[in-house]
Amino acid sequence: MATIQRNVVRDVVSLEASTPCREAAKLMAQKKIGAVAVKRGGVIVGLVSERDLIGKCLAGGGTCDAPIARRCAPTSPGSTRSPRRASARS
C-alpha cells in the first residue's frame, strides 16, 4: 500500500537572496516544486513561490534577472514571514 511517507522530503530546497528570479524558476521546474526558501548568510529569511515570480516579477514589471530577495522575499533581516501577495495589499 502506498503511503505519503515515501513522498515526503525533509531537505529544504533553498537559494541565496541574490539569486536571479530566472534561476529560481529553473530550479523549481527542475525539482517539480512550487516554492524555494530564500537565505541570507545561511539563514532562511523567506519563501519565493511560482506565484511570486509570476505576479511580482513578470506581471509586476520586474525582470527575470532581478534578485529574488528584491522582488519576492521579505527584506528585513531575520524575518521568517512569508512574502505578502499583491492581492493582500489591495
Give residue limits of the domains in the chain. 12-76
pLDDT at residue 50, rounded to an integer: 92
**Residue 54: per-residue pLDDT:** 87
Count CB neighbours of 61 within 10 A: 7
Cα–chain center distance at 70: 11
What would the grid cell of residue 46 be?
Answer: 523567506
Strands (E), 1-90: 14-16, 35-40, 43-49
Q: Using CA atoms, how far apart are residues 69 and 19, in angstroms rounded to an integer?
A: 8
Q: How far apart are CA 66 and CA 2, in angstroms?
A: 41
pTM above 0.75, yes or no: no
CA atoms within 13 A on the CB side of 28: 21
Tens of pLDDT, residue by residue over 45-78, are 999 999 988 887 778 777 788 888 875 544 444 4
Is the per-residue pLDDT at 37 higher than 80? yes
**Considering the domain 12-76 in this protein, what is its CATH number?**
3.10.580.10
